Amino acid sequence: MLGAMKAVTVSPTALTDAELPDPTPGDNDLLVAVEAVSVNPIDYKMRARYERDADGTKVLGFDAVGTVKEVGKKATGFQPGDRVFYAGAQHRQGTNAELHVVDHRIAAHAPESLSAADAASLPLVSLTAYEGLFDRLQVPETGTPSILVVGGAGGVGSQVSQLANALTDAFVFSTFSRRESRDWLEKVGAHRLVDHSGNLVDALKENLVDYIFSTHSNGRAEEYAALLRPQGKVLLIDSPKDFTYEAFKQKSISVHWESMFTRPNFETEDIARQQEILATVARLADEGKIRPLTTTILEGLSAETFERAHELLKTDRSIGKLVVTY
C-alpha cells in the first residue's frame, strides 16, 4: 500500500497543505526525499495558470536538493543515499513536497561543500545561465568577448556573471538599479556595473558589446541594437510585449531564446546535457570558483511558507535566490 506524503498544492484561492500518495519512480527516474528547494518567479506564474481549474492535486516547484531513496531500473550513476540536485520539468509534479521523482538524466550529485539550502539555490538559474551563454550565444572560452547582462542582480543574472568569470575570459557588464543590487553584483564578479534606471546607451557611452544576456527586455530593443557590435547576439529569457525585432536587421544581429525546460519537457536527444552542466556547476562550487546565491531562507514545508515566498518574489526586487528548507 502506498504511503502518504506531505505537500503544498494549488487550490482556486490559495495554496493548501495536503497529503498525496507517495510518487512512484519510472524506469529513468530517481525518487528523492527533498531537503530544500528554491522558489522562482515561474512558480507564482504557473500558480496563476493552475488556479483557474485547481482540484487540489497540483504541486508547484522546481529547484531541489535531496537524498535518493529509490532508483529506476534504467537510471544509471546513482544509488540510494546519494545527495542530488536538479531543476526538474514543467510537465511533472513539482518539488513542494516531501518526495519527488525526477529523470536521472537531468539530475547530478550535489556539491559536497554546500548546505542543502545553498545547493538548492543553484540548479535552475545555473542551467539557464549556462545554456544561454554556451549553447545559445556560444560565447567562446578564450579571447576577450564582452557581455552585457541586463537584470544582473537576480538569480539568473548573478549566475551569468559567475559562470562567465569561471569558464571564460569575457568582460562582463552588469546592470543594477538599487544600491543593494550594486553591492551584490560586486560579490558575484561583474567587471563593470551599469545603472539601468536610465538609457543604457548613455550609461555605456562608447562601449559596444558582443553579446547581451537579457532577463528584462521590454522596450529595450532599440537600445540593444545600438549597443551590440555588428553581427552580435542577444539572448532573451523573458517574453517582452514591447520589443521591435526590426531594430536588429541593419547590423545582422541574431536573437536567441533560452528556456532550461526545453530539454526535459521535450525529452530531447541531448537531455543528459543538463546532468553534465549541473556536474560542472557542482565542481565549480566545490572548487570555490562560484558562490551559492542564497540570500533569503524560509523554513517549513507549508502553504504559509510558500505564500510568503511568492509574495516576496512578486515585488520584483529580489536579489539572489530565495530558498525554503524542509
DSSP 275-301: HHHHHHHHHHHHTTSS---EEEEEE-S
Within a 10 A sphere around the Cβ of 14, how many other Cβ atoms? 12
In sequence order, what E strands does 104-227 have?
107-109, 146-150, 171-176, 192-195, 209-214
- Give the closest residue to 300 by CA, choosing from 8, 68, 1, 49: 8
* pLDDT for res 11: 84
Residue 316 has pLDDT above 80, yes or no: no
The alpha carbon torsion through 93, 99, 103, 108 (nearest 10 deg) reads 130
* pLDDT for res 2: 63
* pLDDT for res 183: 86
Residues 6+ away with beta carbon under 8 Å from 183: none
Residue 225 has pLDDT above 90, yes or no: yes
Domains recognised in the chain with CATH numbers: 4-123+270-325 (3.90.180.10), 137-257 (3.40.50.720)
* pLDDT for res 1: 43
Q: Grade residue 305 by pLDDT with cuts at 50, 70 and 90.
A: very high
Q: Dihedral sign for Cα 99, 100, 101, 103, please.
A: negative
What's the pLDDT tens digit per position in 156-198? 999 999 999 999 999 999 999 887 888 898 889 899 999 888 8
pTM of the model: 0.95
- Amino acid identity, position 223: E
As to burial, measured by CB atoms within 10 angstroms (0-12 exposed, 13-18 middle, 19+ buried), residue 16 is: middle
What's the pLDDT tens digit per position in 66-108? 999 999 999 999 999 999 999 999 999 999 999 999 999 999 9
Query: Average model confidence (pLDDT) for the chain?
Result: 95
Q: Average pLDDT of 121-125?
A: 98
**CA–CA separation, 286 vs 70, rounded Å?**
26
193 bridge partner residues: 174
* pLDDT for res 63: 96
Residue 307 has pLDDT above 90, yes or no: yes
Residue 252 has pLDDT above 50, yes or no: yes
* pLDDT for res 107: 99
Using a CB cutoff of 8 Å and minimum separation of 24, what contacts does 111-114 make? 111/85, 111/281, 111/282, 111/285, 111/286, 112/282, 112/286, 113/285, 113/286, 113/288, 114/285, 114/286, 114/292
Residue 25 has pLDDT above 50, yes or no: yes
Grid coordinates belonging to 6: 506531505
Residue 234 has pLDDT above 90, yes or no: yes
- Compute CA distances 125 → 15, 25, 44, 152, 266, whole Å: 24, 25, 16, 12, 19
- Amino acid identity, position 9: T
* pLDDT for res 181: 84
